[in-house]
Amino acid sequence: MTAPASHDVNFSGVNNEQDLKLLEGSEAVEVVVGDAEHSKIWSLPKNLLVHISPFFAAALNGSFAEASSKTITFPEDDPAAFEMFVQWMYVGKTGRNSTEDIAIHIESWILGDKLGCPVFQDRAMLKLLHLHSAHLIQPKTLQLAYEGSAAGSKLRKWALQHFIYNAQYEKFVTNLENWAAVAKAVADFGSDYVAASAATFKDLWFNPIEKGQLYLEILAYKDERLDKKA
């Protein structure tokens, strides 16, 4: 998703005098993320949210109830993913470099798409590329990527290419039962795989980490296998 020109699509943290001015005298907005049992609440500066996100700009400057209440709720989103967003919003980077955090990075990409923050999406994608440089993609990872993004999204393309590339490994093939379950649950996965399989051998069997630019919205790609500071 590409933000309108009035928003700073290249924003990546409060790191200069102009960005700091967004924090001066700004109203606070309460953002509630998660369901009733597992939610977190953040109090964040309106000026900053509106500056970087067309979603927040529409909600807080328009005729929606959120504009007067100064409260926005995301009941279906992951609090851990929004925590990553808050970290990125202030310092321009995100943490969590463990394979146990893969789902959070997928949720972060999905959140970035919803908020219209392409650089945040790219930070999440760089983490996914790095964490899969030495690990096979798992069925639940691909399913989450497909269920949380639209047809043709770069997140789906990344997940599908990892599946295609990893399918050559014997360890990967032993997980066929779980992959069959994913194919049954996610209809687009099967059709996308068939379409991709029509490509030439050279175009089909490439390692996604070697062509990471294909999956980024704005940032320039370099091989993240040697850099954990995405």
Q: Look at residue 216 in the predicted model and tell me its pLDDT.
A: 95
- Does the structure show a pLDDT above 70 at 226? no
Nearest partner of 137 among 175, 111, 184, judged by Cα:
175
Which secondary-structure segment (H or E) carries 56? Answer: helix 54-61
pLDDT (mean) for 56-85: 89
φ, ψ at 52 (rounded to 5°): -105, -15
Rounded CA Rg of the chain: 19
pLDDT in tens, 132-181: 988 889 999 999 999 999 999 999 999 999 998 888 776 676 778 898 99
Q: Look at residue 8 in the predicted model and tell me its pLDDT.
A: 67
Q: Domain 1-131: give its CATH code.
A: 3.30.710.10
Sheet hosting strand 28-33, strand order edge to edge? 40-45, 28-33, 71-74
Domain spans, the chain: 1-131, 135-218
- Does the structure show a pLDDT above 90 at 98? no
Q: How confident is the model at residue 4 (pLDDT cuts 50, 70, 90)?
A: very low
Q: Look at residue 29 in the predicted model and tell me its pLDDT.
A: 93
Summary mean pLDDT of the chain? 86
pLDDT (mean) for 2-28: 70
